[in-house]
A and B are shown apart, each in its own frame.
Chain A
Amino acid sequence: MTTPERAERRRAWAAVAPALLWTLAFFVVPFAMMAAMSLWQRQGREVVRVWDLSNYQDFLSKPHLLGALWNSIEITVLVTVISVVLAYPLAWIIAERVPRHLQRLALALAVLPFWTSYVVRSYAWTLVLAKNGVLNQALIGAGLIAEPLEISATRGATVTGFVHFFVMLLTLTIYANLVQLPANYRRAAADLGAGPLAVFWHVTLPLTLPGIMVGAFLTFVLCIGDYITPQILGGNSELVLPQVIMLQLGRGADLPMAAALSIVLMTVVTAAWLACARWLRLERA
C-alpha cells in the first residue's frame, strides 16, 4: 500500500468516526439497554434485575396487550393501502396532466398542510369530524345525509387522520418516481400497439413499483410507531401498541414492560423491512 493511500484511509476513518461513535452511543447502546430492561421486572416500586422472559409471556397471555398489536397491524395495513391507492392517481395527474412549469407549484400545494404541527393537525381533524363539526354540518346542509355521521372517536377517525398525512408523503415519493421514467419506454410500448391502460399496467406501474414500495415502507414505519394520532382521534375506543407503551410508562411506571412492548414493535418493523428490503437500497449518484 502506498503512503498517500494510507493517509487517505486514515483521513476517511477520522471523518467517519464521529458519526459512528454518535450512532453507537446514542442509538446502539440505548437499544441494548432497552433490550436488557425488557428482560427485567417491575416489582412493587422497584425494577428488579432478574433475567427472564416474563414480560413477553405477559404480553402473549394478556389479550388486551396482544390485541393492541393486532389493532396496530390492522390500522397500519389499512392506512398504507388506502394512502397508496389515493396518492398514486394524484401523483400521476401532477406528473402527466399538469403543465411542466406548474408541477412544482402543484406539488408544493399538495404537501402544504404537512407544515402544520402534527399534534395540531390531529386536533384539527377532531374539529372536522365532530358530531356537530364542519363535515357533518356541511353534509346535512347539503342534504346528503339526515343524521350526523358518527366518525369521531372511532377507528375511522384515526385512519382518516393517518391517511391525510400519508397521502401527502406518498404523493411526493410517487411523483419523484414517475418523473424519472424515460418517456420513450412508454412511447415504444404505444408504438407496438399497446392501449393507454396496457401501457400503464405493463410499463408505468412496474417501473414505479420500487418508489411505491419505498413510500409504503415509510408509511408503515411512521404509522405503526405513532402515538399522537390514535390518542387524539381514536377516543380510546381501542388501543394501539404505542398507546399501550405510553400507558406502561406513565400510569404503570413499568419501564421493563414498556421496553418489552417496544421490542415487539421493533420486531414487527424489522419484519416489514425484510419484506421490502430489495427495494430499499441506498444508492450513490
Chain B
Amino acid sequence: MRTILLATVAAVAASAAQAEELNALVWCDHTDPALIEPFEKAHGVKVNLKEYEGTGTALSIVEQSRPGDWDVFVIDGIDVPRAIDAGLLAPLPVAELPMADIFPEVVLEGFQSRDGNTYAVTEKFGYNTISYNKEKISAEELSEMQALWSSDEFAGRIAIYDYYLPVMGMVAMGLGKQTADIGEGDLPAIRDALFGLKKNARSVVDVVSSQTALATGEVDILVGGGEWVTAILAADQPELDWMIPDQGAVRWSQSIGVFADSERKDLAVEFVKYILSPEGQARLATSSCYWAMPANAKAGEVLTDQQKAALRWDDQPDYLKRAQLYPAPDGDLDAAMQDAWTEMLQH
C-alpha cells in the first residue's frame, strides 16, 4: 500500500514539475500529434488539448472553468461575436499574422473584428453538404435537396449528421431561405422537413458512425457530410464522394483566437502564428480527425498535389459562391432550434 501511495505522489509531483504548458480548447482536428508536436519541440512546452463539438459545449466548458484556465480557443467563425460579447477573447497582433494570405472569401471581418481590433482569424473551412456513394446513386439524383425529405426513393438510405446548426441551415436553404435570416417563424417549416428527413433516415450519427455507415454500405447518403467526412476515406474507397445540391451548401469555418484571461498570452500568440503558418496550415488541413481546406492560400505550396486533389483545391471559387454561412442564432432562437432538433430525434 505504501509503495502505491508513494508512486501516486511521485506521479503527481512529476506532472506538476513539467515545462510550461498551454491550454487549448479545440475541435478534434487539432489533437493530431503530427500537428502539435512540432510546436511543442520548437518551444519546449506542453500543449494540453481539450476537444469539444459545438460552440454551446465549448462555452459550457469555459463557464465551468476558472479565469486563466484557458489560453487558446478554436471556435466556429460565426460564433466569434458571441465570444467577443462575453469578453472571452483578447485582441490579436494582426501585424504579426499572415492576414494578406488568407483567402479573402473566408476572412469574415464583420464577425472577427470590432472597433478596429481583430479577435480571431479563420484557420480552416469546408462545407456541410451531401456525402454519397457514387456506385449506389448519382450526383444528379441528389441535386434537388427537397427530395431528401419528400421522396420515398431515399427511405432507409440516409444518415443524418448529428449537429443541429449545419443540418438545419441546409434544410432552410433547401426550403429557399437564407441561413442568415432564419427566425422563429421559419422553424415550423424546418421542423416538418426534418421530420420527413428522419423518416427517410436510418440513423442520426456522429462523425465516426457516419463514416462507418457510409464505408460499410449501411447508407448511401450522409446529409450534413462533406469533404471532412470523405476526404480521409478517399484513398481506400474512391467511390465515396461529396457534392453540392442546386440550392447550395452550408459553409463552416473555424477561427482561432487567444483568451482574454490567458496568463501566457505570448506563447498563445506564438501558437496562433504557428497554426496560421503555411506548414501549420498544411498539417491542420490534413490532420487525422478530418481534412478540410486551410484558410491560408500559401499552404498550397506545402501540400502535395494528391492532397490538394482530395481537398478539391481548384474548385473552391465555385464552391464558395454556392455556399452560405452556418446559421448564427441568438440565445432564444438557439434554444428553440435545439428543441426542434431533439423533437426530430424523438420523432
Footprint of B on A, CB under 8 Å?
44-45, 62-65, 67-68, 71, 126, 130-133, 150, 152-153, 235-239, 244, 247, 249-253, 255
Interface core residue of B57, B202, B346 (most chain A CB under 10 Å): B346
B345 at the interface (CB under 8 A from A): yes
A237 to B162, CA, bound (A): 11
Q: Can you give 30 A-B contacts (C-beta < 8 A)?
A: A45-B59, A63-B346, A64-B339, A64-B343, A71-B346, A126-B209, A131-B218, A132-B216, A150-B202, A152-B203, A152-B218, A153-B203, A153-B205, A235-B202, A235-B204, A235-B205, A235-B209, A236-B203, A236-B205, A237-B345, A239-B342, A239-B345, A244-B342, A247-B338, A247-B342, A250-B54, A250-B60, A251-B54, A252-B60, A253-B56
- Identify the 4 closest CB pairs spanning chains A and B, nearest first: A235-B203, A253-B60, A153-B203, A236-B204
Chain B interface SS verdict (over half): helix
Chain B contacts for A130, CB-based, 8 A: 212, 216, 218
B202 to chain A, nearest CB (A): 6
A264 to chain B, nearest CB (A): 16
A149 to chain B, nearest CB (A): 12
Chain B contacts for A244, CB-based, 8 A: 342
A153 to B158, CA, bound (A): 12
Residue of A nearest to B335 (CB): A252
Chain A interface SS verdict (over half): loop
Chain A contacts for B202, CB-based, 8 A: 150, 152-153, 235
A97 to chain B, nearest CB (A): 40
Residue of B nearest to A231 (CB): B206
Footprint of A on B, CB under 8 Å?
52-54, 56-57, 59-60, 63, 86, 156, 162, 164, 202-205, 209, 212, 216-218, 331, 335, 338-339, 342-343, 345-346
Chain B contacts for A132, CB-based, 8 A: 216-218
Q: Is the CB of B56 within 8 A of A251?
A: yes
Q: Is the CB of B345 within 8 A of A236?
A: yes
Q: Of the candidates A71, A131, A236, which one forms a contact with B217 in the assembled complex, judged by CB atoms under 8 Å apart? A: A131
Q: Is the CB of A253 within 8 A of B63?
A: yes
A250 to B53, CA, bound (A): 9
Q: Is the CB of B331 within 8 A of A44?
A: yes
A63 to B164, CA, bound (A): 19
B160 to chain A, nearest CB (A): 8
A208 to chain B, nearest CB (A): 39
B213 to chain A, nearest CB (A): 8
Chain A contacts for B218, CB-based, 8 A: 130-132, 152
